[in-house]
Each structure stands twice: as structure tokens, then as C-alpha cells.
Amino acid sequence: MENVLPLVDALAWPLTVILLVLVFRAEIISLIKRLKTTDLSSRVLQFGESPLDRGELPKQQPRQRKKAKAVQSKIIEWDKPATLFWLANDLMWLQDILLRGGPRDKFIEGLRNTREYAIRLGLSGTFATEELTRIIEYFEPEQGGLPTSLFLD
């Protein structure tokens, strides 16, 4: 292991340079083709103008754009961004409660809010809201025997 670190350290810069040359090879070739004069003793490289500098833009055919079909959901009411925001917020909040083993009443509150926002968005009667209802009914305090925390101590 002691010999590997100096080897990695010694190869880091050469491998980086090789990788950069491979990534930018088209640009490097373009620069080499434009090279006019070189004077390595005084470290001078002089390049000519690029085709772009001379105004020689390649002629390109205009792309034919396909018109995207507007897909409108007949179920979800997308014109309620605040409701959508709070639905997503409550889903993340539920995840946080589950991961941290939060109290059952906060979990039920989050489930109720999530179901309410889903219904307001037009998702009533869908699998998601039916499952939320089923989970809420399971965790309701009347069920009894459920721990006050979501995780057993």
C-alpha cells in the first residue's frame, strides 16, 4: 500500500494531460492547423484567424422542428402550483418522520395533509389516495396497540 500512493501521485498529472488531450483533440487539431509561426526559444506561438474571425461561417440547413404535442392530463389540475408544492413538501416531511422515528400523531397528520392535497389536485379516487386512506385508517389512534413512536424502542 505504501508503494501505491507515490505511484498514483506520479501518474496523476500525466494521466490528466492525456485525458485533456483526448477530450479536446478536435480543438487542438484546429489550433495546430491555424499555427503560423513558432519560436520555441522565446516561447512564442502565433496563430492565424479562425474561420469564424474571417466571417466564414459554415452554411447549415435550418433544422426542421417537430411540433410537440401538448399533453394535457385530464385528471391532475396543474394550475394549482401551491397545492402541488405542499403535496411534495408533505411527502418529504413524511419521509423525514419515518427516517427519524417521529411520533405517530405527526405521521398521521402528514398522511392526512398529503391525502388532502392529492384530492385538491384532482387525484381523488386514484390508487394513491385510496392507499393513503388505507394507511391513515391503519394508523388511527382508535386502532390501539400501535406504538406512540413509529419505531419500537
Q: Delimit the domains of the chain by residue range.
A: 4-47, 81-143
Q: Are residues 109 and 95 in contact, defined by beta-carbon separation less than 8 angstroms?
A: no
Contacts of 136 (CB under 8 A, 6+ apart): 108, 111, 112, 115
What is the C-alpha separation between 92 and 71, in angstroms, rounded?
A: 27
- The one-character DSSP state at 40 is T
What is the C-alpha separation between 149 and 104, in angstroms, rounded?
A: 5
Decide: helix, strand or coil at residue 39. strand
Tell me, what's the pLDDT at 71? 39
Tell me, what's the pLDDT at 69? 46
Q: Residue 116 phi/psi, 5° resolution? A: -60, -45
Tell me, what's the pLDDT at 61? 66
Tell me, what's the pLDDT at 65? 58
Decide: helix, strand or coil at residue 41. coil
Tell me, what's the pLDDT at 151? 47
Tell me, what's the pLDDT at 122? 87
How far does Cα 106 stand from its chain's mean position? 29
Tell me, what's the pLDDT at 53? 66
The cell 479562425 sits on which residue? 50
pLDDT tens, the chain, 153 aa long: 567 777 777 878 888 889 888 888 988 888 888 888 888 788 887 777 766 666 666 666 666 655 544 434 567 787 888 999 999 999 999 988 888 888 888 888 999 999 999 999 888 888 888 888 888 888 776 655 445 555 444
Tell me, what's the pLDDT at 145? 46
Tell me, what's the pLDDT at 137? 87
